[in-house]
Chain A
Amino acid sequence: MRPLTIAVASGKGGTGKTTLAVALARAIRDEVTVLDCDVEEPNAALFLRVPFTEEEPVTLPVPEIDKEKCTVCGECSRFCRYNALVTTRSGTTVFPELCHSCGGCALVCPAGAIREVPRLIGRTRSGRAGRLTLVEGELEIGRALVPPLIRAVRRRGAAQGLTIIDCPPGTSCPLVAAAGGADYVLLVTEPTAFGLHDLTLAAASLRELGLPHSVIINRAGLGDDRVEVWCREAGIPVLFRIPFSRAAAEAQSRGEGVLEHIPGLRELLAVLPERLGGDA
């Protein structure tokens, strides 16, 4: 099978992204790498039970001012569109939590008073069990800059075989960082007004990114048929439906995953990569 990257996204949180990503990873018979890019709340490891053997800090460069050299000219503060630097008569102060690490301040400083120092934003962890490799990112508490950490997780992914990306909820920068460049995106939704609302937003983002995508309806049988109607009208295929099942929900809450509790799901998922173009 040629390398294939499938991202699992949703827009709305709690629709079953991790549930599906984990079930897909378990149903596949080949080598598979799961990238848990939901770095604000990584939880694929709870279900996949892969022991982590490696951990690496992820840092971003932020400016540090040499007070001896700083002439208080204010060039750096005027340049910074994120207002991470402020120059007043007594000197220049850095607010690293506002910095987006563009490096511009160090470039424009005429006095050479700015050097960049690493600031921890989180960590990646990885491990392997049998044919399964898991990489997750975890954001440091108090940090807000998510995309660079997601990109660090993506860089640790495999170049071969199947890669499954568990995306964060939402439709903006974190989703773009997690799903960007994927061969295919599975949008997991639920047949409710909330599911539909956020699905329309997520689909719009993916359209903008030019990423091929289709919909999987989880908890089918709840709610109404508005998601089905919308998908038909928008021309987005509904790949399949996972019926609402109390037994599956209970198994999930025990950390067992749903694969054994939804009849036919394993067979459906086992051939999904080929169906999505993995053997082309």
Chain B
Amino acid sequence: MKIALTISDRGPEAMLDLRFGRAAAFLVHDTESGEETIVDNTQNLTAAQGAGIQSAAHVVNAGAAVLITGHCGPKAFQVLQGEGVRVFGSPAATVGEALAAFKAGTLKEILDADVESHW
């Protein structure tokens, strides 16, 4: 299974970006192979509008079944939900901590958009 995480910088101590649509990049972690790839998102970081929608498409097209981020707005959530991607909210943490928390089952699933548009 592939897990996508929003990241604001890179490296093992990279912090989870709590914003979804305007995260700088996504780290896609494959739980079976342990392989990690980075999907750049700077195009949406600087988008005039609709960043969440296109970021959601990035996550879907990367083949992720799970997204770990801080918060998720209504349009992005609509796209993710439509493709069956489950969304989990994490407090501020490093990527490693967030992944560990997910595997331990302590992250809360976001079942509906938890912030307004343009949050």
Query: CB distance A86 to B53 under 8 Å?
Result: yes
Min CB–CB distance A50 → chain B (angstroms) = 37
Chain B residues closer than 8 Å to A93, beta-carbon distance:
78-79, 82
Could you say which residues of chain B place their CB within 8 Å of the CB of A87? 57
Residues of B within 8 A of A81 (CB): 48
B60 at the interface (CB under 8 A from A): yes
Q: Is B50 an interface residue (CB 8 A)?
A: yes
Within 8 A of B (CB), among A4-51: none
User: What's the minimum C-beta distance from A144 to chain B, rounded to whole angstroms?
Assistant: 10
A90 within 8 A of B: yes
**B67: shortest Cβ distance to chain A, in Å?**
13
Q: Is B33 an interface residue (CB 8 A)?
A: no
Residues of A close to B50: CB separation below 8 A = 82-84, 86, 95, 98
Judge if B90 is at the interface, Cβ distance under 8 Å: no
Q: How far is the CA of A93 from the CA of B74 in the complex (A)?
A: 14
Q: Which residue of A lies closest to B52 (CB)?
A: A83
The verdict on A88 contacting B57 (CB below 8 Å), with A93-B79, A93-B82 known, is yes
CB distance from A96 to the nearest CB of B (A): 12
Interface size on B, residues (CB 8 A): 16
Closest to A144 in B: B49
Asked if B115 lies at the interface with its beta carbon under 8 angstroms from chain A, I say: no
Query: Is B54 engaged at the interface, CB distance under 8 Å to the other chain?
Result: yes
B25 at the interface (CB under 8 A from A): no
Proximity string of chain B (62-92) to chain A, C-beta cutoff 8 Å, 1 when within and 0 when not: 0000000000000100110011000000000
**Neighbour of A88 across the interface among B48, B51, B83, CB < 8 A:** B83
Answer whether A88 and B79 are a contact pair too, CB < 8 Å, given A77-B57, A83-B54.
Answer: yes
B49 contacts A83, C-beta separation under 8 Å: yes
Q: How large, as a class, is the contact surface on chain A?
A: 10 to 19
Q: For the complex, is A246 an interface residue (Cβ under 8 Å from B)?
A: no
Structural contact, B60 and A88, CB atoms closer than 8 A: yes
Chain A nearest CB, measured from B39 CB (Å): 14
Residues of B within 8 A of A84 (CB): 50
CA distance A82 to B83 in the complex (A): 22
Residue of B nearest to A84 (CB): B50
Please give, as numbers and ranges, the residues of chain A lying within 8 Å of B51 by CB-CB distance. 83
Residues on B with beta carbons closer than 8 Å to the beta carbon of A254: none
Q: Which of A82, A86, A98 has a CB less than 8 Å from the CB of B57?
A: A86
> In the docked arrangement, what's the CA distance between A77 and B56, Å?
13
Query: Does B47 reach chain A (CB closer than 8 Å)?
Result: yes
Contacts of B79 in A (CB 8 A): 86, 88, 93
The docked-state distance in angstroms from the alpha carbon of A86 to that of B78 is: 11
Residues of A89-128 at the interface with B, using a CB-CB cut-off of 8 Å, are 89-90, 93, 95, 98
Q: Which residue of B lies closest to A83 (CB)?
A: B50
Provide the bound-state CA to CA distance between A270 and B24, in Å: 59
Q: Decide if A86 touches B54 in the complex (CB within 8 Å).
A: yes
B34 to chain A, nearest CB (A): 25
* CB neighbours of A77 from chain B (8 A): 54, 57
What 5 A-B pairs have minimum CB-CB distances, sorted nearest first?
Answer: A83-B50, A88-B60, A86-B53, A86-B57, A98-B50
